[in-house]
Amino acid sequence: MKWDEFFVTGEPMIYAAMVSIVLVSIAIPAGLTYFKKWGYLWREWLTTVDHKKIGVMYIIAALLMLFRGGVDALLMRAQTAVPNNGLLDGQHYNEIFTTHGIIMILFMAMPFIIGLMNVVVPLQIGARDVAFPRLNAVSFWLFFFGAMLLNISFVIGGSPDAGWSAYFPLASLEFSPTVGNNYYSLALQIAGIGTLMTGINFLVTILKMRAPGMKLMKMPMFTWSILITSVIIIFAFPVLTVALALMMLDRQFGTQFFAMQNGGMDMLWANLFWVWGHPEVYIVILPAFGIYSEIIATFARKNLYGYKSMVYSMVVISLLSFLVWVHHFYTMGHGVMVNSVFSITTMAISVPTGVKIFNWLFTLRRGKISFTTPMLYALAFIPIFTIGGVTGVMLAMASADYQYHNTMFLVAHFHYVLIPGTVFGVIAGFHYWFPKVFGFKLNERLGKWAFWFIAISFNITFFPLFILGLNGMTRRMYTYSESTGYGPLNMLSMVGAVGLTIGFILLVYNIYWSTRYQPREVTGDPWDARSLEWSTPSPVPEYNFAKTPVVDKLDAFWFAKKEGKSLTEEGDYEPIHMPNNNGQPFIMGVAFFFFGFFMVFSWWLPAIIAGMFILGTMAYRTFEQDHGHYVTVEEIERTENALRGEKK
């Protein structure tokens, strides 16, 4: 392989990206050395097994990826803003819409959600960490290095360019000869294994580590949503693992699983992809539903309406989510019977979703609503998501879908579900739980400015796409002629995209501003909220709860506050057993990165060495003795007194 094939060449934008990557990779180590932060970084972050810190790292990575995916989106909108635009060529546009999809779903939405669940779930159930803290760190580093592997593809070797769904035969070696889709199979595989382990970890955590008295039906709704999400992850991700492995074998080892001849079946890829892909939609949406349930109950100052129906509707959604995948490819030539069956299951799934919407509305009814920033996102979510849901039912009708399929109407639909659903959800959750982690609120004024920019610009960006789609503009078109008449609405959409960018910048500026100037919280419960995480001081100490709380009902913390009771039993502190930090997960992640990179380029010998190294780290772990450490009573007293004031 020649150097000019190894690096992507010929595009000024790519050269600029290379220069900025080199500058950043010089600046970060230089900065760390100058401020003498290497030891701090290694001890406090890279080796940490603390669920709160892992959660924070997930969220930082997700914000970075939101920026990367957002730049992709801006470039796409800029390219299509005017007819016959030459900003990007066809190949570059293909790579950009592909990576935009992969990054936003797998490296932005997923880690943001996993980050929030890492921070919040153990606190909500009164636990001191997750069930397998070391495994949790492994999950994070696998995700992180999987994401990095995909991100270097646009300067080294070329990005995947067959769409985020990588349909065969287009994604096969024959039609996509660059290494781009090797990156796809390997980066997603590495990150996917991490996600699968997170699913197992949180299922066990929620089932086994709840505070005494917290029965399943007394758990906060967010924890419920994560329990269901974990179950879906455990059953959906193995399908992706298998499909990606088959893809890798097809592209790099000459097998014929998805080939068009020799007994292969190209459409089997689409089938397997969506067997995972549809449950994946619910993996990113259910936690957001959980976040909204918490926020709406807190700021309406009422208990959640229809708790049981919320739980049952999520269980039904989790089952139905495995029954609808064929609706992603109605037009592939199935018979009437197949399409009818999947039309019906798809429409059925809107029933439990509708139940949830009404539950939120009834929670709001006669509530004393306070319009905080997280609440604004939750309130905006309800109507906007409903538009997405209703257009979803339109798409669910197989015969009508022959009109909508692969048009901008579809693009508008899934942005109308994913942005108010997942993105508003995680931003709302971010604002809501920020004081818990850092000990101060984000500024409300800046937060509301960002909200209005994001909510209004979102509609300006994506509503025109419904009309463009109905007028016949297909998705993934990189340019169009003036006579199509698509120009003005695309320009309007571009204006919206600029507004979204301003909103995002305001959001990030808010983090900076609040870190410097926002007054510090002293209570640990700044929103006057309902669930257990708010009974801890902010920022939360390493061991979370000095004494394990005892719970007897839903929203026990709220009622304890009202009645002036304590959630913990009388008595002295006891030493707390905590897991030790460990560098092995990070080292394993680095090894996976190199393994993936060598595999992408089919450099077998280095790949085998990296693979052996990974197996070596696992073997080492098998024989390692690590029993954790105890936090002494004196240290607990000192920490608690410092955080809560002198009272005990």
Contact footprint for other proteins (CB under 8 A):
207, 231, 235-236, 239, 265, 267-268, 271-272, 275, 319, 322-323, 325-326, 333-338, 341-342
319 versus 642: smaller Cβ distance to other proteins:
319
Q: How far is the CB of 560 from other proteins (least distance, A)?
A: 29
Task: Please tell me the distance from the alpha carbon of residue 388 to that of residue 399, in angstroms, as a whole number.
Answer: 19
Identify the bridge partners of residue 576 per DSSP, sorted by sequence position: 631
Instruction: Give the angle 245-250-252 at the CA atoms, nearest 5°.
Output: 90
- One-character DSSP codes across 162-211: STTTT-TTTTSTTT--STHHHHHHHHHHHHHHHHHHHHHHHHHHHHH-PP
123 versus 236: smaller Cβ distance to other proteins:
236
Tokens of 518: 């926002």
239 versus 610: smaller Cβ distance to other proteins:
239
Burial code (b: 16+ CB inside 10 Å, e: under 16) for 242-273 equals ebbebbbebbbeeeebbbeeeebebbebbbbb
Task: Please tell me the distance from the alpha carbon of residue 402 to that of residue 630, in angstroms, as a whole number.
Answer: 63
216 versus 505: smaller Cβ distance to other proteins:
216
325 versus 557: smaller Cβ distance to other proteins:
325
- One-character DSSP codes across 523-534: SS-TT---SGGG
Handedness of CA 4, 5, 11, 15 (dihedral sign): negative
**CB 72 within 8 Å of CB 103:** yes
Q: Work out the end-to-end distance of the chain between its first and last CA atoms, rounded to an integer number of angstroms.
A: 68
238 versus 575: smaller Cβ distance to other proteins:
238
Burial code (b: 16+ CB inside 10 Å, e: under 16) for 101-131 equals bbbbbbbbbbbbbbbbbbbbbbbbbbbbbbb
Q: How far is the CB of 271 from other proteins (least distance, A)?
A: 6
Residue closest to 301 by CA, chosen among 366, 349, 255, 243: 366
Q: How far is the CB of 380 from other proteins (least distance, A)?
A: 34
Task: Please tell me the distance from the alpha carbon of residue 326 to that of residue 334, in angstroms, as a whole number.
Answer: 9
Task: Please tell me the distance from the alpha carbon of residue 179 to that of residue 168, in angstroms, as a whole number.
Answer: 15
Q: How far is the CB of 400 from other proteins (least distance, A)?
A: 19
271 versus 350: smaller Cβ distance to other proteins:
271
Q: Where are the beta strands (DSSP E) in 343-497?
A: none
**CB 552 within 8 Å of CB 540:** no
Q: How far is the CB of 413 from other proteins (least distance, A)?
A: 22
Burial class (CB in 10 A: 0-12, 13-18, 19+), 179: buried
Question: Which run of H or of E encompasses 537?
Answer: none
Q: How far is the CB of 458 from other proteins (least distance, A)?
A: 34
334 versus 448: smaller Cβ distance to other proteins:
334
236 versus 418: smaller Cβ distance to other proteins:
236
336 versus 605: smaller Cβ distance to other proteins:
336
Which contacts qualify for 266-271: CB closer than 8 Å, 24 or more apart?
266/168, 266/169, 266/172, 267/168, 267/329, 267/332, 268/168, 269/166, 269/167, 269/168, 269/171, 269/243, 270/165, 270/167, 270/168, 270/328, 270/329, 270/332, 271/325, 271/326, 271/329
Q: How far is the CB of 184 from other proteins (least distance, A)?
A: 22
Q: How far is the CB of 242 from other proteins (least distance, A)?
A: 10
18 versus 341: smaller Cβ distance to other proteins:
341
**CB 183 within 8 Å of CB 164:** no
**CB 270 within 8 Å of CB 165:** yes
243 versus 473: smaller Cβ distance to other proteins:
243
257 versus 381: smaller Cβ distance to other proteins:
257
Determine how β-strand 629-631 pairs with β-strand 576-578. antiparallel
279 versus 287: smaller Cβ distance to other proteins:
279
- Count the neighbouring beta carbons within 10 Å of the beta carbon of residue 295: 29
142 versus 240: smaller Cβ distance to other proteins:
240
**CB 79 within 8 Å of CB 478:** yes
Task: Please tell me the distance from the alpha carbon of residue 46 to that of residue 36, in angstroms, as a whole number.
Answer: 16
**CB 640 within 8 Å of CB 524:** no
DSSP 7: B
Q: How far is the CB of 320 from other proteins (least distance, A)?
A: 11
Task: Please tell me the distance from the alpha carbon of residue 334 to that of residue 267, in angstroms, as a whole number.
Answer: 11
211 versus 326: smaller Cβ distance to other proteins:
326
Q: How far is the CB of 29 from other proteins (least distance, A)?
A: 43
Q: How far is the CB of 565 from other proteins (least distance, A)?
A: 31
Give the three-state DSSP class for 17. helix
Q: Give the residue ranges of DSSP H helices in 475-572.
A: 487-517, 556-563
Q: How far is the CB of 322 from other proteins (least distance, A)?
A: 5
Q: How far is the CB of 276 from other proteins (least distance, A)?
A: 10
Give the three-state DSSP class for 629. strand
